[in-house]
Amino acid sequence: MSVYIPNTRTDREKMLARIGVGTLDALYRDIPAEIRLTDALNLGAPLSEAELGREIASLAEKNADAARAVCFLGAGAYDRLIPSAIKHMVSRSEFYTAYTPYQPEISQGTLQAIFEFQTMISSLTGMDAANASMYDGASACAEAVLMAVRHTKRRRVLVAETVHPETREVIRTYARFNGIEIAEIPEEGGLIDSRSLSALLSEDTAGLVVQTPNFFGLIEDLSEIEPLTHERGALLIASVADPLSLAILESPGRQGADIAVGEGQSFGMGLQFGGPYLGFMAVKAPLIRKLPGRIVGQTSDIEGKRAFVLTLQAREQHIRREKATSNICSNQGLNALIATIYLTLLGKNGLREAATHSFEKAHYLKHKLVEAGMRPLFDAPFFDEFAVELTADAREVNGRLMRNGVLGGYPLADVLPEAKYPGRARAMLLCVTEKRTKEEMDRLAVLLSEACVEAASSERRER
């Protein structure tokens, strides 16, 4: 939002007249009256520009962000180290205000950057091709569900309970308005239950959505799931919430997945209060022409020089929305560029090093917490996130951690079923990235133990 809006009353009247509306109330008449603001806001006395600036700054100081607090919060958004070169490079005008890639003759730089992004995503996921990015990880997963339905001509999709709850909600929204049946596969010990999967798979199943590492941070074994899925003619969709894990884990493609989707925020993007982020989608060769969104291909121009163009896309994708493969395949071009720069700067060895540090530090913290008397919620291999049971309400514990400058983990109270996890209010999902230090982890172990004792004591007094 601009810090200064120069429109005068006369300007507003001219704009309203130009669009054929007499008043601002008439402009907003389509908004139901019961949800429109009718009373004046209580903004207090007028302030000068300098006074207002100080007021806004003081309000902003109340936000607890990862720049001023030690962050152990993950669950789909990760506080990672970001090379300073990224901000410098994406701020260049030729990238920041790049011309539309629909006209290749004047947008070769943009097209090449997107082509490199696609190549890197394909390599990481072990797939044959990737598109030019999606809106975010959740909508990319939902788009994969639509692709499976179109490809198989079936209308039933299985989704593992271990997929991020917010992603499952997005899938359900897509499915509801496309006549698709969604059935969820129960988890057992934090992982997809293979017996339930076998029972639910049928000849009318279009696809199976599995996340790995899953919402609880655990690593799902796709090699066991893949044969069951393909025996019924369904597509295997692998969702990767944290693609940095692919630097040390087997890729979805090598484990037999047909579609790989995920959230690319880990690749050089800050937390940014939840966005904008970057979705990605990659597929095996038979599905390339069914990919939504843009695909950039490499070719040669009339002089034989290497050139880049949009390719393999139906014209309806861009100008006939009712027949388009997708209507939310927004190309996150600038964020895709950030990911491309990040992957290029770190390279294969750097990515592996960052992933290894995350893995080892997470396991170190888990060991420290077990020593402190806390019990892991699940006992299975994990990457850089794990859940622990506390002796007090996780939200209350987080409040006490915050007073000590620590952003605690994700309380699982709202996403775990009460019937299976009666103590879910005391469960917390913790994340450890390469950014965390030994001193920070040791301090968390002490603070977490103290916070649990204090919160439990407070609960007893209240009872």
**Mean pLDDT of the residues in the chain:** 90
Q: Which of 191, 263, 184, 190 is nearest to 224 (CA)?
A: 191
DSSP labels, 347-389: HHHHHHHHHHHHHHHHHHHHHHHHHTT-EES--S-BSSEEEEE
**Boundary-marking domain end, from 324, 342, 360:** 342
Does 205 share its domain with 353?
no
377 within 8 A of 425, measured Cβ to Cβ: no
Please report the pLDDT score of residue 1 as a whole number: 45
Q: Which of 442, 302, 325, 335 is nearest to 121 (CA)?
A: 335
CA torsion 125-127-131-137 (nearest 10°) is -40
Q: What is the pLDDT of residues 70-120, one digit of tens each?
A: 999 999 999 999 999 999 999 888 887 766 777 787 888 889 999 999 999
DSSP labels, 104-132: GGG-HHHHHHHHHHHHHHHHHHT-SEE-S
Answer whether residue 299 shows pLDDT above 80: yes
Does 206 share its domain with 102?
yes
* Residue 354 tokens, joined: 């960052």
207 within 8 A of 144, measured Cβ to Cβ: yes
Q: For the sheet containing 129-130, what is the strand order?
A: 129-130, 279-283, 259-263, 235-240, 205-211, 156-160, 181-185
Residues 6+ apart with CB under 8 A from 177: none
Does 358 share its domain with 436?
yes
Q: What is the pLDDT of residues 161-218, one digit of tens each?
A: 999 999 999 999 999 989 999 999 999 999 999 999 999 999 999 999 999 999 999 9
Q: What is the mean pLDDT of residues 22-46?
A: 88
Please report the pLDDT score of residue 322 as a whole number: 63
Q: Which of 197, 242, 224, 215 is nearest to 359 (CA)?
A: 242
**Banded pLDDT at 316 (limits 50, 70, 90):** very low
- Domain contains 19: no
Does 337 share its domain with 364?
no
Does 129 share its domain with 253?
yes
Please report the pLDDT score of residue 321 as a whole number: 59
- Domain contains 61: no
Residue 262 CB-density burial (10 A; 0-12 exposed, 13-18 middle, 19+ buried)? buried
Helix, strand or coil, per DSSP, at residue 399: helix
How far is CA 6 from each of CA 21, 43, 323, rounded to the nearest angstrom? 21, 21, 41
**Domain of residue 354, CATH code:** 3.90.1150.10
Helix, strand or coil, per DSSP, at residue 282: strand
Answer whether residue 27 shows pLDDT above 70: yes
282 within 8 A of 127, measured Cβ to Cβ: yes
**Boundary-marking domain end, from 309, 342, 375:** 342
Does 111 share its domain with 245?
yes
**Boundary-marking domain end, from 301, 323, 342:** 342
Q: What is the pLDDT of residues 357-413, one digit of tens each?
A: 999 999 999 999 999 999 999 999 999 999 999 999 999 999 999 999 999 999 998
Q: Which residue has the higher pLDDT, 289 or 462?
A: 289
Residue 138, amino acid: A
Helix or strand holding residue 168 (H, E): helix 165-176
- Domain contains 4: no
Q: Which of 184, 349, 160, 360 is nearest to 241 (CA)?
A: 160
- Domain contains 201: yes
138 within 8 A of 164, measured Cβ to Cβ: yes
Please report the pLDDT score of residue 328 as a whole number: 63
* Residue 457 tokens, joined: 């004591």
How many other β-carbons are positioned within 10 Å of the β-carbon of residue 112?
16
Residue 362 belongs to domain spanning: 70-80+348-462
313 within 8 A of 296, measured Cβ to Cβ: no
Please report the pLDDT score of residue 65 as a whole number: 84
Does 303 share its domain with 173?
yes
- Domain contains 64: no
Does 210 share its domain with 226?
yes
How many structural domains is the chain composed of? 2
Report the percent of the chain where pLDDT is more than 90: 68
352 within 8 A of 247, measured Cβ to Cβ: yes
Positive or negative torsion for Cα 425, 431, 435, 441: positive
Does 149 share its domain with 208?
yes
Q: Which residue has the higher pLDDT, 96 or 441?
A: 441
**Domain of residue 152, CATH code:** 3.40.640.10
- Domain contains 21: no
* Residue 14 tokens, joined: 């001219």
Q: What is the pLDDT of residues 230-289, one digit of tens each?
A: 999 999 999 998 999 999 999 999 999 999 999 999 999 999 988 899 999 999 999 998
- Domain contains 258: yes
Does 74 share its domain with 114?
no
379 within 8 A of 387, measured Cβ to Cβ: no
- Domain contains 56: no
Does 157 share its domain with 232?
yes
Answer whether residue 318 shows pLDDT above 60: no
Please report the pLDDT score of residue 147 as a whole number: 95
Does 296 share its domain with 358?
no
Helix, strand or coil, per DSSP, at residue 411: strand
Helix, strand or coil, per DSSP, at residue 47: coil
